[in-house]
Chain A
Amino acid sequence: MIRFAFAQVLAHRLRLALTVVAVMLGVAFVTGSLVLNDTAQKLFDDQFATASAGADVTVRTATAFDSGMGVEVERDPLPAATLDSVRDVDAVTDAVPVAKGAARLEQGTTDLGSVQLSTWVDEPVGAYPLRDGAAPTSDGEIVIDKNTADALGLRIGDAVTVVGDTRVDARVVGLVGFGDGDGPPVGAVALSTLTTAQSVLGLGDGLSEILVTSELTAGELQPLLADVLADDVQVATAQDLAAAGAEQAAANLEMLQVVLIAMSVAALIIGAFLIANTFAIVISQRTRELAVIRATGATGKQVLASVLVEALLVGALASTVGVLLGIVSTYGLRALAGVFGVSIPSGELVIETRTVIIALTVGVLVTLVSAVGPARRAAAVSPLAAMRSSAAETRGLGRGRLITGTVLLVAGSAVAALPGVAAGPVLLLGAGLVLALVGVVMIAPSALRPLVSLVGAASARTVPGQLAREAALRAPRRTSATVMALAFGLALMSFVSIVGGSVKAATGEQYREVIAADVVIESAGQEMLGGVHAAVYDEVRDVPAVGVATRLKYGHWKDGKTTSALTGLDPELITEVAQIRMVDGDIAALSAGGVVIAERVATERELAVCVELPMTFARLGETTLPIVGIIADGPAQALQTDFFVSLDTYGDLFTEDMDASIFVLAAAGTSPAELSTALETALEDHPTVQVRDQAAVIAGRTQTVDQIFGLVTVLLAFAMVIAVLGIANTLALSIVERTREIGVLRSVGMSRRSVALMVQAEAVIVSVVAVITGLLLGIAASVAAIGALSTIAPLRMEVPVAQLAVLAGVVAVAGLLAGIAPAARAAKLPVLEAIAHA
């Protein structure tokens, strides 16, 4: 039977081509996601490892945690005297002082973007080998990494301004690489002398860290240094630093990882429908042949095995090609993610054995599982079928299947609705949706019948239309699998579109309700903690058009095991620029210290005013703050965090001196537009600072939603192409099955055009049913998701009608296009041969 399976694969290679493509795409997605993740992870790891590899240990200020939400926490500078203490230790061979921090490059009036400014350290302790020119030896000289120089068009000898706390004019004297590469995988690097870095970054004579080398091992050296240094100074080995970096990398990639894995699963599900369909069709075509085999003595089990072996062969072949394709497509994915604003470092691909094994296994398993249904039907073919002239699909669906499907659908829907109704855990939502989907797939052949009939009724006035409708109804399994492949893709897209749209609408609404400020000043960059220099605030206040201006700062703290954000604000001024609705206490109480928390947090953890909240800060370690008020969820979300402290308290807790944003109200008699213009003029010297009106702020805050939607749409589009090819395949095969019928129709006077029309009509019926089903599924899932999410944040269902209409239109047109080739083929069938077709 195995040889039989081989022969079948070869004989039906064209028909199986689509199966191969479907499996391939899913496997390629899985491979691409894994490779991309591993690669990005390794590059981030390497960056940290390479940066610290030259020194045995690094001395820096201790913090309670290293990174929050993918951002390395800024540390206090070390006093200059620490360097002497370190050098005094006998075992220390060399100790190199380093000042580093975030800065910006400008050339003339052009903003060249942000760079990591650090201190030049000779190799091998330093990680930046000189590629061209010379090292910076005096103040006003910098080197930058070659990649950045190439990208910005900077050359040795060019004059630039390094902007940090102060502005320092400098000349590019050399270009550096990083490790083996021409620059760090992420970001840009500029290196200067210690004093230049210190003055740009406003560190005085303070140091960011001291790189120490020794004859001893890092493990032996560590305690020796720790002994002589104060408790708030950390002595970290290269491994520690690399580990901290790895954590940061993981956090950075989390969103992309989730999107890619979800897309892989979606592609595999769509693939599964097509695989099941192709096998079902191939087998229904072979009914006679299978019956002959059965009649000559093959058992049902042998037939089953032969079909499964066939599936195995197809799955293995397709998965292998898929893995290769996935590796190649990683480059494309990386570029794609970049287009949508998710930056992934460039560098050599990391292909783990695990990736290959997972992708191959998944591909083969999906193929096998999808082929089980058709294989069982093949095994059920009776030897008598060989004697019958036709073996059209007339068998109804088992009632067991219908009942199981309905139960799953109802149970799944109930579970999915639970978080929204009874405030259960959101995790239930996913589980419920998956259950419901399985139920839908099971009952689809029966449930779609009335819909197919209804949609077909519109076309049934003409003979070709009527025949198309009958053809779609006659093979419910085939029609439903084709419909579901397309509908599932559309459902996912509309789900993302509706949920995204609702989130966007809610964000905007809340913002407009709460924030009264005419203008908000924010950084143009996407800095986690805000990138508005403290000096900007002073300049803003001096603008005559400004009535009220108040600054907000963001900071990270460790809340148990998770990293949380808090907002530092001015308790007096904030009420003038925002509607602060309090559930308990008063925001003004923050002036005396303490923290205000959001209602949601208070309810969830049963916290009340006067309770001491334990919080861990990078600099201070664990501490507690008294809760002085509880703020309503709406204003909390508009201000973007769940925890609020006064600016004074913030100053005690954090060293960061960047403002996240400045809220500005116009002076009496000044319009918001005039205010914007006045501020833009006043802030001309700060190119990265942007003056935004309400609409621009909302757009900025919902940018991530757009990014995710864009990425998901493009990725799903690939899967949809395959689903559309599925329609073409199904039609082509259905035509092969109906060859003789078409011959008869032609012989009694149906024109070629009418035959083509008939096939095209079936494609249209299938696409329209898929569009309706997809939209319904998408909307239903969105209702459940929004219900569940609204327990976390106030959300209202917002259906982006235009967006959905475009999606539906594209899918419908795609379905129409899918019918063209099969229709042409059907029209070309020679009449006589078609009639003679067995």
Chain B
Amino acid sequence: MSTTFAIEATDLVKTYGTGDTTVRALDHASLSIRRGRFTAIMGPSGSGKSTMMHAMAGLDTVDSGSIRLGETELVGMSEKQRTLLRRTHVGFIFQQYNLVPALTAEENIALPLRLAGQKVDKDWMLELAATLGIADRLTHRPSELSGGQQQRVAVARALISRPEVVFADEPTGALDSRSSQALLAFLRRAASELWQTIVMVTHDPSAAAYADRVEFLSDGEVIDGHDNPTAATVLERMARFDAERQGVAA
């Protein structure tokens, strides 16, 4: 039993297609996510970082390996078990804010709890809304909100159930730089002040700089990682990658 790690993914293998067209998205990848920390996952397109995140979040299955989310083994779970797990143990932030257009901001935030049939902690909802600066927008529909506001609603939705882990998939991809910085700063605070475990997939070194740790994926493997990244260390590491890859290619 581990208390230091929120997620321990070991030896994950995931392939798509068969025969000549087989693509190995995860090739014996292992990764541990520290509890209460903000972890960034980086890597070039096709490196398997999204697959890795989807697998850890219970959105997708793997062919083999082990994923422990807290005390729960995800591999081998049925679709239904994973769905129930997602409701309360996992939060999501997508690049396309992906709010439900028919529901108000407040209803969107409360959605995971209502689906689980749990009571919404009103104080927590208001605290989140206040912290995210959307307290006065709660009765609005997504179409009446700006992109930044929509993304903050999505963040609140991810946090409302006090999940084990929040996964963010390129959360700033559709935002302008000011909104991006505000959002990343909030995620940073959620980790350090609220002890919220956050995993973010990004390709932006300056976004990764907000994290406690950065992990690098390439060709379906976790190849490296370091604590307290800055934009400079991330860029430097990525440049080295490219050089290595070109070296291999040559």
Q: Chain A residues in contact with chain B, CB under 8 A?
A: 389-390, 392, 394, 463, 466-467, 470-471, 473-474, 740-741, 743-752, 754, 831-832, 835
**Chain A nearest Cβ from B197, distance in angstroms:** 17
B87:A749 contact, CB within 8 angstroms: yes
B107 closest partner in A (C-beta): A466
Name the residue among B79, B83, B98, B143 with the largest chain A CB count within 10 angstroms. Answer: B83
Q: A747-B98, A748-B112, A751-B83 are in contact. List 20 more A-B contacts (CB 8 A).
A: A389-B96, A392-B143, A394-B143, A463-B111, A466-B102, A467-B102, A474-B102, A743-B98, A744-B94, A746-B83, A747-B59, A747-B92, A749-B83, A749-B84, A749-B116, A750-B83, A751-B115, A752-B79, A832-B59, A832-B60
With contacts A749-B88, A831-B59 known, is A463 near B114, CB below 8 A? yes
Taken residue by residue from 72 to 94, chain B's Cβ proximity to chain A (1 for < 8 Å, 0 otherwise) reads as 00000001100110111000101
Question: Does B132 have its Cβ within 8 Å of any Cβ on chain A?
Answer: no
CA distance A345 to B98 in the complex (A): 65
- Can you list 9 A-B contacts (CB < 8 A)? A466-B102, A744-B100, A746-B83, A748-B87, A749-B83, A749-B115, A749-B116, A750-B83, A832-B54
Q: Is A471 a contact of B102 with CB atoms below 8 Å?
A: yes
Tell me the nearest residue of chain B to A751, going by C-beta: B83
State A568–B144 Cα separation when bound (angstroms): 81
Instruction: State the CA gap A744–B54 with chains docked (Å).
Output: 13
Is B133 positioned at the interface, with any CB of A under 8 Å from its CB?
no
Q: A741-B100, A741-B101, A835-B98 are in contact. Are A748 and B59 (CB under 8 A)?
A: no
A748 / chain B contacts, CB cutoff of 8 Å: 86-87, 92, 111-112, 115, 157
Min CB distance A270 to B, Å, is 29
A753 vs chain B, min Cβ distance (A) = 8
Q: Give the top 3 A-B pairs by smallest Cβ distance, nearest first.
A: A749-B87, A470-B102, A744-B98
Question: Which residues of the partner chain B approach A740 to less than 8 Å between Cβ atoms?
Answer: 96, 98
Q: A747 touching B86 by the CB < 8 A rule?
A: yes
B103: Cβ under 8 A from any A Cβ: yes
Contact of A752 among B54, B80, B114 (CB under 8 A): B80
Chain B residues with a Cβ under 8 A of chain A? 54, 59-60, 79-80, 83-84, 86-88, 92, 94, 96, 98-103, 111-112, 114-116, 143, 157
Binding site secondary structure of chain B: helix
A474–B83 alpha-carbon span in the complex (Å): 27
CB distance from A651 to the nearest CB of B (A): 80
CB distance from A495 to the nearest CB of B (A): 36
A160, B84: Cα distance in complex, Å: 82
B100 partner residues in chain A, CB cutoff 8 A: 467, 741, 744-745
* A751 partner, pick from B84, B99, B102, B157, beta carbons under 8 A: B84
* Nearest CB of chain A from residue B175's CB, rounded to whole Å: 14
Report if A754-B96 is in contact (Cβ < 8 Å); known contacts: A392-B101, A747-B59.
Answer: no
User: A784 to B177, alpha carbons, bound, how many Å?
Assistant: 66
Using Cβ atoms and an 8 Å threshold, which residues of chain A touch B115?
463, 745, 748-751, 754
Contact for B94 among A389, A392, A474, A835, CB less than 8 A = A835
Give complex CA distance A754, B112 in Å: 13
Task: State the CA gap A471–B102 with chains docked (Å).
Answer: 7
Closest beta carbon of chain B to A550's beta carbon, Å: 74
B84 to chain A, nearest CB (A): 7
Contacts of A747 in B (CB 8 A): 59, 86, 92, 98
Q: How far is the CA of A744 from the CA of B111 in the complex (A)?
A: 11
Q: For the complex, give the distance between the alpha carbons of A752 and B86 in Å.
A: 13
**A834: min CB distance to chain B, Å:** 10
From residue A72, how far is it (CB to closest CB) to chain B in Å? 68
Nearest chain B CB to A377 CB, angstrom units: 19
| B residues less than 8 Å from A831 (CB atoms) | 59-60
Interface centre among A392, A470, A747, A751 (most CB of B within 10 A): A747
Residues of B within 8 Å of A473, CB to CB, are 102
Write out the residue numbers on chain B whose beta carbons fall within 8 Å of the beta carbon of A394: 143
User: What residues of A have a CB within 8 angstroms of the CB of B83 in the complex?
Assistant: 746, 749-752
Kindly provide the distance from the CB of B2 to the nearest chain A CB, expressed in whole angstroms.
25
Distance A748 CA – B160 CA, assembled complex (angstroms): 11
Kindly list chain A residues whose C-beta atoms are within 8 Å of the C-beta of B99. Answer: 744
Distance of A392 Cα from B141 Cα, bound (Å): 13
With both chains docked as a complex, state the minimum distance between the C-beta of A469 and any C-beta of chain B, in angstroms. Answer: 8
Q: How far is the CB of B53 from chain A (nearest CB, A)?
A: 11
Q: What's the nearest-Cβ distance from chain B to residue A734, in Å?
A: 12
B87 neighbours in A (Cβ, 8 Å):
748-749
* Residue picked from A392, A751, A754, most chain B C-beta under 10 Å: A751
A749 proximity list for chain B (CB < 8 A):
83-84, 86-88, 112, 115-116
Find A474's partner among B88, B92, B101 (CB 8 Å cutoff): B101
- CA–CA, A749 and B81, complex, Å: 10
In whole Å, how far is B82's beta carbon from the nearest beta carbon of chain A? 9
Chain B residue numbers with a CB within 8 Å of A741 are 98, 100-101
Residue of B nearest to A474 (CB): B102
User: In the complex, what distance in Å separates the CA atom of A701 from the CA atom of B29?
Assistant: 85
| A57 to B106 CA separation, bound complex (whole angstroms) | 92
Per the bound structure, the CA–CA distance linking A470 and B100 in Å amounts to: 10
Measured between C-beta atoms, what is the minimum distance from B172 to chain A in Å? 16
* Distance in Å: Cβ of B42 to nearest Cβ of chain A: 20
CA–CA, A473 to B102, complex, Å? 9
Taking the closest CB of chain A, its distance from the CB of B157, in whole angstroms, is 7
Q: Which residue of B lies closest to A740 (CB)?
A: B98
Q: Provide the residues of chain B in CB contact with A467, threshold 8 Å.
A: 100, 102-103
Chain A contacts of B92 at CB under 8 A? Answer: 747-748
Nearest CB in chain A: distance from B90 CB, A: 8
Residue of A nearest to B51 (CB): A832
* Most chain B beta-carbon neighbours within 10 Å: one of A392, A471, A754, A835: A835
Residues of chain A within 8 A (CB-CB) of B84 are 749, 751
B20 shortest CB reach to chain A, Å: 23
Cβ distance A450 to chain B, nearest Cβ, rounded Å: 17
**Chain A residues near B96 (CB, 8 Å)?**
389, 740
- Which residues of the partner chain A approach B88 to less than 8 Å between Cβ atoms? 749
Closest partner residue, chain A, to B113 (CB atom): A749
Of all chain B residues, which has the CB nearest A471? B102
A565 to B71, CA, bound (A): 92
| Chain B min CB distance to A728 (Å) | 21
List A contacts of B98 (CB < 8 A). 740-741, 743-744, 747, 835
Contacts of B79 in A (CB 8 A): 752
A754–B103 Cα gap in the complex (Å)? 16
Which residues on A sit within 8 Å (CB–CB) of B59? 747, 831-832
A746 to B59: give the CA distance in the assembly, Å: 9
Q: Nearest chain-B residue to A743 (Cβ)?
A: B98
List residues of chain A with CB within 8 A of the CB of B112: 748-749
Nearest CB of chain A from residue B49's CB, rounded to whole Å: 14
Which of A394, A466, A748: most chain B Cβ within 10 A?
A748
C-alpha spacing A745/B98, complex, angstroms: 9
Q: Whole-angstrom distance from the CB of A553 to the nearest CB of chain B?
A: 72
- In Å, the complex CA distance between A752 and B100 comes to 17
* A746 to B86 alpha-carbon distance, docked (Å): 9
Q: Across the interface, which residues of A come within 8 angstroms of B80, CB to CB?
A: 751-752
A752 to B115, CA, bound (A): 12
Q: How far is the CB of B207 from chain A (nearest CB, A)?
A: 20
> From A746, which residue of chain B is reached at the shortest CB distance?
B83
In the complex, what distance in Å separates the CA atom of A458 from the CA atom of B192?
A: 44
- Cα distance A749–B83 when bound, in Å? 5
From residue A687, how far is it (CB to closest CB) to chain B in Å? 70
A375 to B100, CA, bound (A): 29
Give Cα distance in the complex from A467 to B83, angstroms: 18
Nearest-Cβ distance from residue A391 to partner chain B, whole angstroms? 12
Contact partners of B60 in chain A: CB under 8 A: 831-832
CB distance from B187 to the nearest CB of A (A): 18
- A-side contacts of B101, CB under 8 Å: 390, 392, 474, 741
Quote the shortest CB–CB distance from A765 to chain B (angstroms). 13
Residues of A within 8 A of B111 (CB): 463, 745, 748
Residues of A close to B54: CB separation below 8 A: 832
User: What is the minimal beta-carbon distance from B200 to any residue of chain A, in angstroms?
Assistant: 16
In the bound assembly, the distance between CA atoms of A831 and B80 in angstroms comes to: 12
Quote the shortest CB–CB distance from B87 to chain A (angstroms): 3
